[in-house]
Structure formats: C-alpha cells, structure tokens
Structure 1
Amino acid sequence: MNKLRIGAATAAVLLALGTAAWSLRASGAGHTDASAPAPSVLTVEVIVPQQQSWPQSVQASGSITPWQEIIVSPETGGLRIAELLVDVGAVVKRGQLLARLADDSLQADLRKQQAAVAQAQANLYQAMSNLQRARMVDGSGALSAQKMEEYRIAEATSRASLDSARADLDSTRLKLSQTRIVAVDDGVVSSKSGVLGNVVAAGTELYRLVRQGKVEWRPELDARQVSTVHTGQSARLTLPGGEQVAGQVRLVAPTLSATTGRATVYVSLPAGAARAGMFANGTIELGAQPALTLPQSAIVMRDGRAYVYLVGSGSQVTSRAVSTGRRHGDRIEVLSGVDASARVVASGGAFLSDGARVTVASVGSAS
C-alpha cells in the first residue's frame, strides 16, 4: 500500500513538471512570432518613372468639303441647251467642252453683222474718195469751205460707223464662242443641274466641279485649342470606313464664330483620299513635349481615382494618388503625385494594400 502511494505521488509530480515545461515552451514560441517581420504578400518588380518626349495633339471633328468649287454656267442667255457632254463623277480637264448651247440665232446675227461691216466699209471708201477729190480742187475756189467741211465730217462719220459695225461683229462672235461651255480648270463633276433643251439665262448653274479634285477637312476648335494650331502642322483623321488619312494644316481661321465661339481649321487632304460630305474625327499634331511616364500596369484605378504603390524602407508599400494625362501605346503620362526618383511597383498593385510587405525581384527603369 505504501509503495502504491509513493508511485502515485511520483507520477503526479512528473505530470506537473511536464505541464510547466510545455507552458514555458508555448509562451516562448508566442513571443518569437510577435517580434518577427510580417511575411511578404507578393513578389514585385520596382521601376522608376521615365522622362520621354511625346507628341502633343488636339482631338477634333468636322466635315470634309471641297477645297474650292467651280460653278459652270453660260455667260450668254436666252439660248437652248443643245448638249450636256459630261455627267456626275466625270474627271474633266481645263478647256474641256462640258455643254453646248444652240447657236442658230447667233449664226444668223453673225452673218448680219458681217454684212453691216461690209456696208460700213463701202460707205467709208466712198466718203474717203469724195474727200480726196474735194481736196484736189480745194485751192481753185470751186468748193466752198462749208462743203469741204461736210466731206470731212462724212468721212469721219463713215469711219466711226465702220468701227461700230466691227464692234457689233466682235460681240456676236464672242456670244457665239460662249455657246461652247468649257471647264475653267481641272476638276471632278460633283453635281449636274442643267436640263437638255432648257432655255437658260446667263449665270444659270449647269454643273458644279470640285476644283482639281481636292478636298479638305474642316474641324472646329475652341479658342484655347486654336491658339496652339499653326499652318504646316500634321493631322491624321479617321474616315467613316475606318481608313486613316494624313493631312496638313493649310489655314487657321483668323476669327472665331460669334455664335459658337469656335474657329475653323482647314486641313488639306491628298486627292482621292476622301469624299466631300463625309464627317471625320481626327487629331492635329502640335509637336513634342516632355512627359513623365509609367506603364499602364503600374496605375491602379480605385473609386474613380488613379493610384500607384511606392516601395519604401523595409520593402513595405504605400499608395499614392496621381494625376494622369496623355496616353501613348501602353504608357501613360503622370502629371503629379510622383517624381522621377520614385520607386513604383510595376504591376500587381490591385493585390496590395498600404503597409503590405513585398519581395523586390528586380529594379527597372520603366522602359
């Protein structure tokens, strides 16, 4: 019985000592975990913003219109359209015959004026002959001074009548030539309003041409934008079909519209690149300007704002709000929030939070 009591007491003591030792070990382990650094949540690449020279541009939209238009109309009126020789879309050359007016009445007027010239010329010859004979006997006293003066006046009148008849003949010939309506310059026929057989008045539009086939883009810009646009700058626009067309600023309007407060910019386009009447969007290149840039993967959008994560001491990250600007390819301009020496997480920022510890795999230049 005594032996059993002694064994039980010994077992109790050993159990108490074991429990104390386990408690000490557990307490020591907890103390070690509390003092150790937090584990890394992500392995990242660290980059610094890169200074680049980027082209600055202005976004604009506007219609495509003819560079210049040519109105084809007769210079003489009251004649019937006898022929219309071209149709819409035809490419015409300077001096090419486009239409012809009936010239029967003018041919008759021409013959009449030719006869009038011949008659006036005969009258002049007769008057000149009379004056010459009168001068031969002028010194003999056979003719009075009044009669001599009459001969001189008759000769001068006949000469003036001949000049008038010749002028009328030239006028008739001019009208006759105007029955042939020709193109004043190269171009493309954009509209046709003449009707065969119609009697037209002088100035009635028969055709409308796009001069030399040239068109231009005419976007409208506000006062701030137009102040940065100058003649000779490059432009690029997208046509409705998706085709890209390059152009050049030909002219900037000197005044702004009193109703819209915007000014028109005239951008020359290559012939055949677009059609008049189209509406296109595009950009006008203003020249290169410096930009502090980061890859778009470094920008984290949260609650409508842009953030980057900066790596500080101890490889801990902090978020920083930034303002962004232009985009070029896969890079974005940073206007404020970081400088050129900032150590920025290149990607994976969406998985980070302030104070998180990361493992830096490499340090790059954001190129």
Structure 2
Amino acid sequence: MKTQYKIILVAVVAALAVGGKILLSHKQAPAPVSNVRPASLSVTAVTPLRVLWPQTVPAQGAIAAWQESIVSTEIGGLRIAQVLVDVGSQVKRGQELATLSQESVTANVHKQEAAVAQAKASLAQAKSDAERARVVSSSGALSEQKIQEYLIAEETAQANLASAQAALESARIDLNRTHILAPDDGVISSRTASVGTVVNAGTELFKMVRQNRLEWRAEVAAPQLGGVQAGQKAVVMLPQGGEVSGKVRMVAPTLSADTRTALVYVDLPHGSPAKAGMYAEGRLELGQREALTLPISAVVLRDGMNYVFEIGQGDLIDQRQVKTRRREGDRVEIVSGLSPQARVAATGGAFLNQGDRVNVVPDQLQNAKQ
C-alpha cells in the first residue's frame, strides 16, 4: 500500500514539474512585433497641375506728369494786371492765363506807327526826286553826281521804312506778349503769379500738366527688365486703394548708377484717380506663361522654407523643399523641387513629418478643382 502511494506521489510531482516548464516557456516567449507603422493622418492626394498664368513683374515708383510746362513771361518790367486761372484749372491751348499792364507797350506801338508813317513820307519824297533825276539824266541838266545822290536817297528811304516797319512789328509782338497764353491743353499744377507784381523776362508764373497726362515711373531691376516692352499692360495699386490700368510707353535706355534699376514709363488713362506725386506699387504684365501649380494648402512654411509632402510607396511621406513664385487665387506656382507626376498631400501638412504613414482618401471636390 505504501509502495502504491509512493508511485502516485512521484507521478504527481512529475506532472507538476512538466506543467511548470510549459507555463514558464509560455510566459517567456516574446509577442510578435509588427513592422508596419500605423497611419498618422488621413489625407487627400493631389498632383501638380499645369496652367497658363499671366507673367508679371512687380515694381514700384512715383506717379508724375508726362510733361510739365513752365509758363513764364517773355517781356520784363511790366506789372501783372490780371490772373485768370488758379491751381486745378483746366485750360485749352491758346487760352489767356494772365495779362500784364499794356500802357507803356501800347505807347511804344503808337510811336513806331508814327515812325513808319514818317518813313513812308520820306520815301515818297525820295522816289519823286529820283524819278525826276532819271528823266533828265540824258539831257545833261543834272550832273552825274547829283543824279546818284537822288538814287541813293531813294534806297536809303526804302531801308528806313523797312526798319521802322520792323520796329513796329516788334512793338506789336511785345503788346501780344502782355497776354500770357497756355502753350497746350492741360491743367494748372502751380501758380506763382500775383496781381500787382512787376515781373522780369523769364519769370515763372504757372506750371501745367500737358494734356492732363500722367505716367507711372516704375523702377525695375536689371534681371527682370528683359521681358518688358512697349505696349504691355501695367496695373498700378494706388495708395488710397483701387487699381489703375496703364500701358508701357517706353523703357529707359540706361539704369541708375545708385539703385541699379531702370525706369519703365507707363501711361495712365485720363481721368484716373491717380495724382502726380503719389508713390505706388504695381505690376507689369508680360503675357501668359505655363506654370506648375499646387493648392496653397499643400505648401507649408517651416523655418522660412516652403515644403510639400509627397506621398510615396506604401503611403509614406517624403518631405520635399520647394521653391515657389506666383500665386493666383487658391493656387501657387512650384518652380523647383517637385516632379510633375508626384502625389502630394493636399492638406494637413502642418501635422506631417518625414517618414509618416498616411491614409489616402479620395476627395471629389479636390479632384474637381484640378
């Protein structure tokens, strides 16, 4: 009986030992590890789209008069009698702007008229004497010397008349110069004339913007100057708001030695809200050019650099630095750093990093935009 109990006890101990080894082996066995990273974000994928965009050159510069005429006096020592226009007055070519006192000039005209009348009388007398000398020259009644004196006196009288007539014409010109006239159509931009002022010849009385024409003198850097040509469209953004469209008239033949920029002269339309003296920004439109574009939401700015997040094999993210240029609406041009066939995360780039795995979901709205 005791032998039977011993056999049973040994069997139980053996069974417990085997069971313990089995449990120990199960406890120490490591769990299987998955090498697949979970998706960090669900994103929609877009590919770059080629579109025709207007090529523009940004610029800034002053708005100035196309040509500013200085109206001054041509005769001196006279008093301003009337001033007929003021700053802002619209004037026509030949319109009277001011008048100078005419008393002394009118008296001089009368004096020269009298001198002409006297010269005419002298000429008539000289012609009569010369004619008689010619009649009697063959009879010998007058000496040859006397005849020559009469003929010379006639020529002298004719010269004196011509001189008197020229002096009269000069006096009349001076009389006309007492009327200060507009040299062209335009608007008065400055006035220094005041009634009662005695002016000298050449004294500035008015400044005027010829033909009301203004221009934008855009400053363009040398690398961007090659595509700018006369006739191209330009858009000027005024300081007070709003835009004015103009046309490039000419490009300066030289660059500034100080700024290394060239002036591009842009004609602005008549009646625009632009004013001479404004400083404005704008752009020159050089025509259309193909651009590789992405939605703006696909480009993320980090540390001063632009990045996009390309979706590679296995939906793993490849962070790529790109260079951008123009923006139109909700799209931006990609200049370099990205293949045209690349798949890019359209949104959520701010939460993505190199090597992240994403879950790509379809987006019908995004596909429609492309």
* Equivalent runs, 1:186-225 vs 2, <5 Å: 186-225=185-224
The code of the aligned residue for 2:247 comes to Q
Q: Residue 251 and residue 298 in structure 1: after superposition, are their counterparts in 2 closer, same or farther (change >3 A)?
A: same
For the structure 1 residues 188 and 22, does the alpha-carbon distance in structure 2 shift closer, same or farther, using more than 3 Å as the test?
A: farther
TM-fit CA distance, 1:333: 1.6
What letter is aligned with 2:55? Answer: Q
Q: Is the 8 A contact 1:50 1:365 kept in 2?
A: no
Match of 2:149 in 1: 150
1:260–1:76 CA distance, 2 compared to 1 (3 A)? same
Deviation, 1:44, is: 1.5
Query: Is the Cα–Cα contact under 8 Å of residues 68 and 210 in structure 1 kept in the other structure?
Result: yes
Query: Aligned pair 1:180/2:175, yes or no?
Result: no
Question: In structure 2, what is the Cα distance between the partners aligned to 1:90 and 1:289?
Answer: 45
What secondary structure does 2:150 align onto?
helix
**Equivalent residue of 2:283, what SS?**
strand
1:110-132 CA-partner distances (Å, limit 9, x unpaired): 11111111111111111111122
Structure 1 residue ranges (4+ consecutive) displaced by more than 3 angstroms after TM superposition: 16-28, 35-39, 363-366
Q: Provide closer, same or farther for how the CA distance between residues 301 and 134 of structure 1 changes in structure 2, counting only shifts above 3 A.
A: closer
**Deviations 1:244-284, CA, capped at 9 Å, x for gaps:** 11111111111122333322221111123211111111111
In structure 2, stretches of 5+ residues that fail to align are 1-7
> Which residue is 1:323 aligned to?
323
The question of 1:159 aligning with 2:158 is answered yes
d(CA) in 2 for partners of 1:164, 1:326:
74
Does the 8 Å CA contact 1:51/1:292 hold for their aligned counterparts? yes
Distance 1:314 1:25 in 2: 35
Are 1:280 and 2:283 counterparts?
no
Q: CA RMSD in A?
A: 3.0
**How far off is 1:65 after superposition?**
0.9
Q: Alpha carbons of 1:19 and 1:310: their partners in 2 closer, same or farther (altered >3 Å)?
A: farther
Is the alpha carbon distance of 1:263 and 1:37 closer, same or farther for their aligned partners in structure 2, counting shifts above 3 Å?
Answer: closer
Secondary structure of 1:264's aligned partner: strand
TM-score (norm 2): 0.88
AA aligned to 1:283 is: R
Who is 1:236 aligned against? Answer: 235
Matches of 1:312 and 1:260 in 2, distance apart? 47
Aligned to 1:3: none
Correspondence for 1:170 = 169
Find the aligned partners of 1:144 and 1:287 in 2 and give their Cα distance: 92
SS at match of 2:202: coil
Aligned residues: 360
Q: From the superposition, tell whether residues 336 and 258 of structure 1 become closer, same or farther in structure 2 (CA, over 3 Å).
A: closer
The secondary structure found in structure 2 opposite 1:206 is: strand
Range with bigger deviation, 100-109 or 305-314: 305-314
Unaligned residue ranges in structure 1 (runs of 5+): 1-5
Distance 1:58 1:105, change over 3 A: same
